[in-house]
Structure 1
Amino acid sequence: MNKLNNIMVALIFSVSASFAADVFTLDDCLRVARENNATLKSAKVNRQMAEEAEGSAFPAYFPKVFAGGFAFIANDFLVKQKMDFSKEMEGLGQQVAPAMMQAGIDPSMLAGLPTTFNMGMVDKGIIGHLTLIQPIFVGGQIYNGNQLAKIGTRAAKLQETLTETEIRKNTETYYWLIISLKEKLKTLAEAEKQVDGIYSDVQVAVDAGVAVKNDLLRVELEKKKLQSNRLKLENGISVAKLMLARQMNRDNADFDLADADLSQVTPPESYAISADDAVERRAESKLLAISREAAEKERSMERGKVLPTVAVGASLLYQNLLDDDAVNGVLFASLTVPISDWWSNSYSTAKLDLKAQKAAIDEVENKNLIKVDIDAKWNTLNESFKQIEISRDAIAQAEENLRIQREFYNAGTATLSNLLEAETLRQQAADSYTEAVTGYYTAVCAYLTATGR
């Protein structure tokens, strides 16, 4: 019987667990977002496409081999020739006439024989070839083309990194927003508990005739205000969870977040890094360098179009035109100089020169802006940390003020309004601390992102 009971309990717990909402930590949210986010998946596909394009550019170094052939049947001979044998027939007649006369044959019969003939050949046939061409020099276009393909792959990887960084930033932002709202709910619950206690004390005082009913209505109004704030917080959590679910590519927001410890905060110095080093770590800086490098390669590609092209090759030929198989081998070399393109190419090359100059200017300017952004994020981080220290002091003062006002109210030396105001100040101080801590962690994420980490 005990064994049956144990099985039933296990089944109940397993069913309950299957219907329970998932509970995520920050690391869980980041992991799920990395695995499932649709935008990141798209960026990964773009990176894979760039890798395939790089792979398809490399075989241009190798010889090109191609085969071809055709068979035909003509309605007449392709090669024709009319042949005149009149002189030969005249000589033949003189030679054979005596013999014909001896045989009793009239030699004049020879005059009736035709002296011209039409000859023709090649009315069907088969031709085939196997050809190999090895480019020796094509103005550097093969090399530069491969370099551009590699640059494309590097750029796609950096874009994937930027996308992942943006998703991480958004995920952390919504995570800390939800944590902030949940902590505010806890503070609100504590305030409701305090106001309920005040309501009970006022009710007793009203019943004893030492307080007026208006005081009771004032406390009830405060309770209504807290209920309204609770509704706003719960709605805010619902919306923030939907946004977080979107980052994790979940169909619904049927999950919860594990409580976060907001009491211990790591100081900003633990995250500090040199701004100059951070600029070079940023994916945006690397993309700027890649953009400049790509512009230079495009310019080299354009110049290569008007340089001589040298190639060597070999071809194996097969033909059957006269009902006789024949196989030949051919070695050849080619040199091509696109002289007529020199004029137009000078303009396109000049345009790409300007493009490369602009890319170099943009790289320097945007790196300066990135450094400014890093400094701004660092200042925000330090400011957020100082706000935490200020909020801690404010909480201590608000709690002490509430304690004093409660003692004064119980002693009859303070009004109910003073007590309710003290409770409101304590709640605001607690909310300010929550906002300061969650804002600090958001600032940490922003600083790490700005420094390429």
Structure 2
Amino acid sequence: MKKLFCIIGLTCAVWSLPAQETLSLDSCRALALANNKELLISHEKINAAHYQQKAAFTNFLPKISAAGGYMRTSRELSLLSDAQKSTLSGLGTSLGTPLQEAAQIISQIYPELSGPLSALGQSLTGALNNAGSAVVDAFRTDTRNMYAGALTLTQPLYMGGKIRAYNKITKYAEALARQQHDSGMQEVILSTDQAYWQVVSLANKKKLAEGYLKLLQKLESDIEKMKAEGIATKADVLSVKVKVNEAEMTLTKVDDGLTLSRMLLCQLCGLDLSSTFTLADEKEEDLSPAAVPTHDIDINAVYENRPEIRSLELANHIYQQKIKLTRADYLPSIALIGGYMATNPSVFNSFEKKFKGMWNVGVTVSLPIWHWGEGMYKVKSAKSEARIAQYQLQDAKEKIELQVNQTAFQVNEAAKKLTMAEKNLEKANENLRYATLGFEEGVIPASNVLEAHTAWLSAQSEKIDAQIDVKLTEVYLKKAMGQLAIGN
């Protein structure tokens, strides 16, 4: 978050400058970090990994789900057969003949009861028929329109360690995304620094080329006058003119290279390619890079700072958890379940056209028994992948140690080259001064003066290259040590 606030603050400060603005190295870094699309993508990857971790944690918590449905059928379920329905509906009729025979016997014994018994028989027949029909209707299910709903709760109790392992994997994945983002930030800073110092180098070489051209033009003017006085020859004049043309061509090349380098820096910083700006270090007459200490480098501290090492360590942790995740697929799993289910028609009080339901609670256990060694093979495969990650980590540490030592050597070599370039420039300045005085006194030919000018230009250019090389090797060393950041 501190890095983010720093970037935002620097970006606002830069955009608040006028059109012809002066950009420092940190300003360019801040703009590049704020406008780099790869960093924006990696930032979204961090967000995605963060939410995946939150989603993984929810597996520890109970899950509640609801389900419902409706079904229309062409026929209803029947608890009675057609014969049973017919028998029950005609129950009175079936019993009518025995009842009439019984009534006739009773009427023969008691003639006075023949009338009432006949009426009673007819009444019983109708009543029994109605009662049988009522029983048939009572056994109707009317299941052509069926509704059902269920609410279920599931709480994992033991999943073989799968939930815990997956939760750790997502935590490591989020941390890994952050490390990759930091690594991308360092790459962007490195690219920005290279483009920045390239512009500074070419800007200084442009000033050098302009100064050299002015010296040659002055020499051309002087030698024209000397030719007019008969002191110099036409060959001297032509040789100076050739050098002037070469200086103009060099200035044109440097100017074109500077324009292209500015365009590259604009692209990295997210600025319009036609933007006009001045870099703070362009105004410096002498860059005077400070010496960078390269002794007593703690390689263990380097390992802690390098995002690549931290990323590989996190990847190693992830593969270790993947072993547990793979093994968990072949261990018992236990879960607590509970819920409520309701149906219409309901069968708790015969068949009723009402929603009625019941609660339920239970435990489910799943135990893999035999898979022909599939689990063992998969676990061994996961262990091999974990060992690969360990070897990659060891290899990266060895390469980083070599990179740090090589970069430290390059820093020392760049400092030596700068010292030599400064000495060469002192000699070239002295040589040019003597050659100019001798030429003005007429004791040194024009060719010697041109050689002195060429040597001076070469010495100046080498000094600029050496100063820029010191700056860049300092950046490379910080990158190798994992210390490259805004303000550092």
1:298 is aligned to 322
Deviates more, 1:118-127 or 1:404-413: 118-127
Question: Does the 8 Å CA contact 2:91/2:132 hold for their aligned counterparts?
Answer: no
Inter-partner Cα distance in structure 2 for 1:237 and 1:275:
38
Aligned counterpart in structure 2 of residue 170 of structure 1, from 187, 191, 194: 191
Aligned counterpart in structure 2 of residue 286 of structure 1, from 310, 313, 320: 310
Inter-partner Cα distance in structure 2 for 1:392 and 1:147:
57
Aligned counterpart in structure 2 of residue 200 of structure 1, from 221, 226, 229: 221
- How far has the Cα of 1:421 moved from its partner? 0.8
Inter-partner Cα distance in structure 2 for 1:385 and 1:403:
27
Deviates more, 1:83-92 or 1:257-266: 83-92
- How far has the Cα of 1:91 moved from its partner? 6.0
Inter-partner Cα distance in structure 1 for 2:449 and 2:18:
44
Question: Does the 8 Å CA contact 1:79/1:120 hold for their aligned counterparts?
Answer: yes
- How far has the Cα of 1:180 moved from its partner? 0.5
| Mapping of residues 3-402 of structure 1, within 5 Å | 20-82=19-81, 83=84, 84=87, 94=98, 98=103, 101-103=114-116, 104=118, 119-123=139-143, 124-260=145-281, 261=284, 262-269=286-293, 273-321=297-345, 322-341=352-371, 343-402=373-432
- How far has the Cα of 1:315 moved from its partner? 0.6
Question: Does the 8 Å CA contact 2:20/2:278 hold for their aligned counterparts?
Answer: no
- How far has the Cα of 1:360 moved from its partner? 1.0
1:26 alignment partner AA: L
Inter-partner Cα distance in structure 2 for 1:153 and 1:27:
28
- How far has the Cα of 1:20 moved from its partner? 4.0
Supply the RMSD in Å over aligned alpha carbons.
Answer: 2.7
**Which secondary structure does the structure 2 equivalent of 1:81 belong to?**
coil
**Which secondary structure does the structure 1 equivalent of 2:80 belong to?**
strand
Inter-partner Cα distance in structure 1 for 2:142 and 2:366:
35
1:120 alignment partner AA: R
1:367 alignment partner AA: K
**Which secondary structure does the structure 2 equivalent of 1:329 belong to?**
strand
Question: How many pairs does the alignment contain?
Answer: 437
Inter-partner Cα distance in structure 2 for 1:28 and 1:325:
70
Deviates more, 1:18-27 or 1:71-80: 18-27
Give the direction of change, closer, same or farther, for the CA distance of 1:20–1:358 in structure 2 (3 Å limit).
Answer: closer
Deviates more, 1:250-259 or 1:136-145: 250-259
Inter-partner Cα distance in structure 2 for 1:223 and 1:95:
145
Question: Does the 8 Å CA contact 2:203/2:258 hold for their aligned counterparts?
Answer: yes
| Mapping of residues 400-411 of structure 1, within 5 Å | 400-411=430-441
**Which secondary structure does the structure 1 equivalent of 2:232 belong to?**
coil
**Which secondary structure does the structure 2 equivalent of 1:174 belong to?**
helix
Larger CA Rg, structure 1 vs 2 = 2
**Which secondary structure does the structure 2 equivalent of 1:252 belong to?**
coil
Inter-partner Cα distance in structure 2 for 1:255 and 1:300:
58
Question: Does the 8 Å CA contact 1:93/1:107 hold for their aligned counterparts?
Answer: no
Question: Does the 8 Å CA contact 1:128/1:318 hold for their aligned counterparts?
Answer: yes
Instruction: State the identity as a percent.
Output: 21
- Residues 43-77 of structure 1 deviation map (CA, whole Å, 9 limit, x = unaligned): 21222221122222111111010011223343322
Deviates more, 1:383-392 or 1:101-110: 101-110
Deviates more, 1:204-213 or 1:39-48: 39-48
2:71 alignment partner AA: F
Give the direction of change, closer, same or farther, for the CA distance of 1:108–1:65 in structure 2 (3 Å limit).
Answer: closer
- How far has the Cα of 1:342 moved from its partner? 6.2
Inter-partner Cα distance in structure 1 for 2:194 and 2:170:
36
Q: Which runs of 5+ in 2 are unaligned?
A: 1-15, 108-112, 346-351, 484-488
- How far has the Cα of 1:275 moved from its partner? 2.6
- Residues 312-332 of structure 1 deviation map (CA, whole Å, 9 limit, x = unaligned): 121112223122342311111
- Residues 246-274 of structure 1 deviation map (CA, whole Å, 9 limit, x = unaligned): 21123314233324133432111189732
Aligned counterpart in structure 2 of residue 445 of structure 1, from 451, 461, 475: 475
**Which secondary structure does the structure 2 equivalent of 1:264 belong to?**
coil
1:397 alignment partner AA: K
**Which secondary structure does the structure 2 equivalent of 1:229 belong to?**
helix
Aligned counterpart in structure 2 of residue 424 of structure 1, from 429, 435, 454: 454
Question: Does the 8 Å CA contact 2:77/2:142 hold for their aligned counterparts?
Answer: yes
- How far has the Cα of 1:106 moved from its partner? 11
Inter-partner Cα distance in structure 1 for 2:93 and 2:54:
74
Inter-partner Cα distance in structure 1 for 2:307 and 2:200:
30
Deviates more, 1:394-403 or 1:269-278: 269-278
Give the direction of change, closer, same or farther, for the CA distance of 1:407–1:77 in structure 2 (3 Å limit).
Answer: same
Give the direction of change, closer, same or farther, for the CA distance of 1:92–1:338 in structure 2 (3 Å limit).
Answer: farther
